[in-house]
Amino acid sequence: MLKNKSVLLSSTPEDGIRVCVMRSIHDEYEFDLWYQALAPSRKLVEDYVINKKISWNQFQKNYLREQKSRKAYLLQLITLIEKAHKNNLDVTLLCGEEDFRGCHREIIMRELIKLKPEIKKLMVDKL
């Protein structure tokens, strides 16, 4: 299954493979893989999260524009999710926010579904 969790919460065995999708990390973060390429740019994070200069809709548009050339990382993530599922393991996407809604993890999940619609059946969190 594909799950979402804040990287600030403690790691648990139920997390399975923990995939950090943040641009910046700290030593205390616990994760197995770091997909930094799937993180929004620092400027985009500043405009949306920190300074609240742009709306969620504008953030989504800008994020997708930034990610246009990074489809290969989404395909790798799909492969990871499918292999983990075959081995009875979960994959947990990690970012700072507790709720994936309003976070780029929500956009990542939508993009995964666009690339492979059946992946939706493996998502714990419904869009």
pLDDT (tens, 9 = 90+) of the chain, 127 residues, equals 999 999 999 999 999 999 999 999 999 999 999 999 999 999 999 999 999 999 999 999 999 999 999 999 999 999 999 999 999 999 999 999 999 999 999 999 999 999 999 999 999 998 8
Q: Running DSSP on this structure, what letter comes out for residue 3?
A: E
Domain boundaries, the chain: 2-37+71-122
Q: How far apart are CA 107 and CA 63, in angstroms?
A: 8
State pTM to two decimals. Answer: 0.94
Name the β-bridge partners of 93. 4, 19
Long-range (24+ apart) CB contacts under 8 A made by 61-69 are 63/104, 63/107, 64/107, 64/111, 66/40, 66/41, 67/38, 67/111
Contacts of residue 72, Cβ cutoff 8 Å, sequence gap at least 6: none
**Residue 109 belongs to what H/E stretch?**
helix 104-115
